[in-house]
Structures are given as C-alpha cells and as structure tokens.
Copies of this chain bind each other. A is one copy, B any other.
C-alpha cells in the first residue's frame, strides 16, 4: 500500500462510525474520507491537546488508544473517557473556542488532524453529516454521565469491573477484540485515573476479579475471560453506549 493509499484510508474508521450513527449514504461517507488532513504518529505519554489551547484542528484517532484527561489544581489526574480507532478526540472544538481538557495517547497511535474550517464547511453543506457529528457528541455525553455514576456511586470492585466492561464493549464494537477474551492494553495507573482510585487499590481489585475467574493475565496482557461474570459484578448495562444507533 502506498503512502497515498494509506492516507486516503486513514479516516475510514471514523467515517464508518459516523455512517452507522447518522445513517449516512456511501457518498457522504466518501466526502468524510476525502477531507484534507495530516497524520502524526505518537507514543505515550505524549499529550496531543492541552487544556486552554485553541488549537485549529479536529483530531481523529486513526489507530491505537487515547484518552481525555483533566487535572485538579493540586495535580491529580482524572481520565474522562477512553478512545479507540475511529473516535473523534475533541468534537467540542467544532463549536467552542476553548478546549477544557487534555488529550493523551495511551499506546503507539496515529492521529489525523483535520483543519476545523474544512470540517465545518462540510457540515454546513451537508446537514446529515452535521447531525451525525452532533449525535456523536451527544453519545459521548451519555457515556460521560455513566462514568460520573460509576465514580460517584459504585464501590471499588464494581467500579473497576464496569470500566473493564465498557472498554471491552467499545473495543469489540470497533473490531479490536471479542467480548470473551478481549485484551486490555492499559496500565493499572491509567485504570486508577479513570476510576478515581489509586493504582495500588486497582491492583487489589484486579486480583479479586482474577480470583473470581472473571479475568486472567498479568501486566500488559490482561484479558477478560468470563464476560458474563464481569458484567454481573459491574452491573453493566451497555445501552448508554448507544451502540445500536
């Protein structure tokens, strides 16, 4: 595959996701893929976007894993969402002047930068595409609400289990693994910042989940073994992910 082909394919996952979300035609999908952009390879713990920055590009995750983060004044980090290939990393930038969070990569990743003006132009010209992206942002908000419930009102074990469930469900949706035996390539420190716990306590909870037979593996090869069991512990109901639409 030539460099040109690679580049022309890089927005495909995002286009496919928006096609499903917004019920777009193949032609609209093509318009999305044809958007001008530049690519970047990044490695952790690289920060792509910083809070308060008014960057001029919309960032799409072409491959790899990424997350959004915020920091308290005292320097404690909270992860706001996980992202897989095809996700848009800063939708809100399309209409707001300021980015209120950071974006960091969690693995080796490729990111596509699209000038905001180009994307806005396409959205203006084709209302269905605009609606699809709006819908995408509303689904993100729905996921964010579930995270708030998770962090605010579930115990540590349920909380970790729930985070793993979402990770697996979204990986599966993106074609990156099976619910049964899906790999989870993130560190325990990352899981801690996503759940509002410490890495030490995440470790204890993972041990407990291992003893319960729900997960297996160590280090970077953590895998979900018993999907049903994990869902039960977490009280996981995937409807908030809006995968069906």
Binding site for B on A (CB under 8 A): 52, 68, 70-74, 76-78, 80, 91-92, 95-98, 100-101, 124, 127, 131, 134-135, 137-142, 144-149, 151-154, 158, 195-196, 235, 237, 239-240, 242, 245
Contact = CB atoms under 8 A, between A and B. Distances in A.
Contacts of A154: 72, 76
B142 A100 contact: yes
Given A196-B152, A245-B97, A145 B144 contact: yes
Number of copies: 2
Contacts of A77: 153
A76 B153 contact: yes
Contacts of A98: 239, 242
B96 A138 contact: yes
A141 B152 contact: no
A98 B240 CA distance: 9
Contact of A141 (B78, B140, B146): B140
A94 to B, nearest CB: 8
A141 B148 contact: no
29 contacts: A70-B145, A70-B148, A71-B149, A72-B149, A72-B154, A73-B235, A73-B237, A74-B235, A76-B153, A78-B148, A80-B145, A91-B138, A92-B138, A95-B134, A95-B135, A96-B135, A96-B139, A96-B242, A96-B245, A98-B242, A100-B240, A124-B127, A140-B141, A141-B141, A144-B148, A147-B148, A151-B151, A151-B196, A152-B195
